[in-house]
Chain A
Amino acid sequence: EVQLVESGGGLVQPGGSLRLSCAASGFTFSSYWMHWVRQAPGKGLVWVSRINSDGSSTSYADSVKGRFTISRDNAKNTLYLQMNSLRAEDTAVYYCARPPLSSGLSPFDYWGQGTLVTVSS
């Protein structure tokens, strides 16, 4: 059974940092691209970042470019999102999501349960 389990969320002050993790199981993690998608409280879904299967290629939404870094450890079956210089508008539930093997981009057929990041003083 495919499972994606996020962790690392919490309360952080503006300007602070946080690292999210997404532990994957039930599939060959090293073969799949992975993505982060976020959702501010009461708002819609917003794509944040993606990484290819071996970690050599990454992409970011303009709103997080230069502040967030996506990475992965295929030996540990884990996806990461390092978030620096956090702002109030980064407050959201962060989901990791997996597209199918045939397409690195979409659709997202598996999602984690999400981890809440709150940026507030």
Chain B
Amino acid sequence: DIQMTQSPSSLSASVGDRVTITCQASQDISNYLNWYQQKPGKAPKLLIYDASNLETGVPSRFSGSGSGTDFTFTISSLQPEDIATYYCQQYDNPPLTFGGGTKVEIK
């Protein structure tokens, strides 16, 4: 199985800060990488697909980049409503696997 290593596992930042989360795959997954946001008690929500494509309706402060084994997810200006846990997910090779998650809090 492909292991997805996300870091950090949690972070605290101020409103307006730039936030960056990384995700490393244990083998080359091309750009078959998605990012989800999950708020407490809610289902995950797709934000970025195929490493860098913004899902329809998602604010442009969210972005993704990378290919191969190393990927980055960025919130350009953290907003209070962005408090959530973020997960990366690969789908290059079954079984589909998720990163361990990054919990984002407001400082």
| Chain A residues within 8 Å of B, Cβ to Cβ | 35, 44-47, 59, 61-62, 95, 103, 105-109, 111-114
Residue-wise, chain B 62-102 has the 8 Å CB interface mask toward A (1 for contact) of 00000000000000000000000001010100111111110
Contacts of A35 in B (CB 8 A): 96
B43 touches A113 (CB 8 A): yes
| A-B residue pairs in contact (CB < 8 Å), sample of 16 | A35-B96, A44-B99, A45-B44, A45-B89, A45-B101, A61-B95, A103-B91, A105-B96, A106-B89, A106-B91, A107-B50, A109-B46, A109-B55, A111-B43, A111-B44, A114-B43
Count of residues in B whose CB is under 8 Å from the partner chain: 23
Dominant secondary structure of chain A at its interface with chain B: loop
Give the A-B contact count at a CB cut-off of 8 A. Answer: 55
Q: Given A44-B87, A44-B99, A44-B101, check contact A105 B94 (CB 8 Å).
A: yes
Contacts of B50 in A (CB 8 A): 107
B87 shortest CB reach to chain A, Å: 6
Please report the C-alpha to C-alpha distance between residue A5 and residue B55 in the assembled complex, in whole angstroms.
22
Chain B residue with the shortest CB-CB distance to A47: B96
Most buried by B among A59, A106, A113: A106
Instruction: Tell me which of B42, B45, B98 contacts A44 (CB under 8 A).
Output: B98
B94 touches A59 (CB 8 A): yes
Instruction: Tell me which of A59, A62, A105, A108 contacts B44 (CB under 8 A).
Output: A108
Contacts of B89 in A (CB 8 A): 45, 106-107
Give 7 closest A-B pairs by Cβ, nearest first.
A106-B91, A111-B43, A107-B34, A47-B96, A107-B49, A45-B98, A105-B91
